[in-house]
């Protein structure tokens, strides 16, 4: 059974204090690893898809990386507007379009 574990559950940062969120996964053949951002009261919003170990993708202050066992979401010099819950999900080969999500990391960036 595919499993996704995210850590930490919650993270509090000062504005400008860089950090990383972790996503560990177990899947029978990775087809893709996805990062989403979710704001309170809203649906998840797509950020990145990574397909193979060593791949990296960037968007503004966010950079996602992938190894064979985990993915990291690096946040550089965060701002208060980066506060949200960040969700990681995996898609397995042979699993169609099914995504298995982790429970997320709740990020709070303070002034």
Partner 1 sequence: DAGVIQSPRHEVTEMGQEVTLRCKPISGHNSLFWYRQTMMRGLELLIYFNNNVPIDDSGMPEDRFSAKMPNASFSTLKIQPSEPRDSAVYFCASTHGWGPTETQYFGPGTRLLVL
Task: Return residues touching partner 1 (CB under 8 A).
Answer: 31-32, 36, 41-46, 49, 51, 87, 89, 91, 96-104
Phi, psi of 79 (to 5 degrees): -120, 160
Residue 29 or 80: the one with the smaller Cβ distance to partner 1 is 29
Minimum CB separation of residue 36 from partner 1 in Å reads 8
Helical ranges in 15-97 per DSSP H:
none
Question: From CA 48, how far away is CA 66, in angstroms rounded?
Answer: 11
Instruction: Find the helix or strand (DSSP H, E) in which 71 lies.
Output: strand 70-75
State the nearest-atom distance from the C-beta of 25 to partner 1, in Å: 14
Residue with Cβ nearer partner 1 (19 or 106): 106
Alpha carbons 45 and 24: distance in angstroms, whole number: 20
CB of 60 to partner 1, least distance (A): 18
Nearer to partner 1, 2 or 79 (CB): 2
């Amino acid at each position: 059974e595919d499993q996704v574990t995210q850590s930490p559950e919650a993270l509090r940062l000062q504005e400008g204090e860089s950090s990383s969120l972790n996503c560990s996964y177990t899947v029978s053949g990775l087809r893709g690893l996805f990062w989403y951002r979710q704001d309170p009261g809203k649906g998840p919003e797509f950020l990145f898809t990574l397909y193979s170990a060593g791949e990296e993708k960037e968007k503004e202050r966010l950079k996602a990386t992938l190894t064979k066992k985990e993915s990291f979401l690096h946040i550089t010099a965060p701002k208060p507007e980066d506060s949200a819950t960040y969700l990681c999900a995996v898609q397995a080969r042979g699993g169609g379009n099914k995504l298995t999500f982790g429970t997320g990391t709740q990020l709070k960036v303070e002034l």
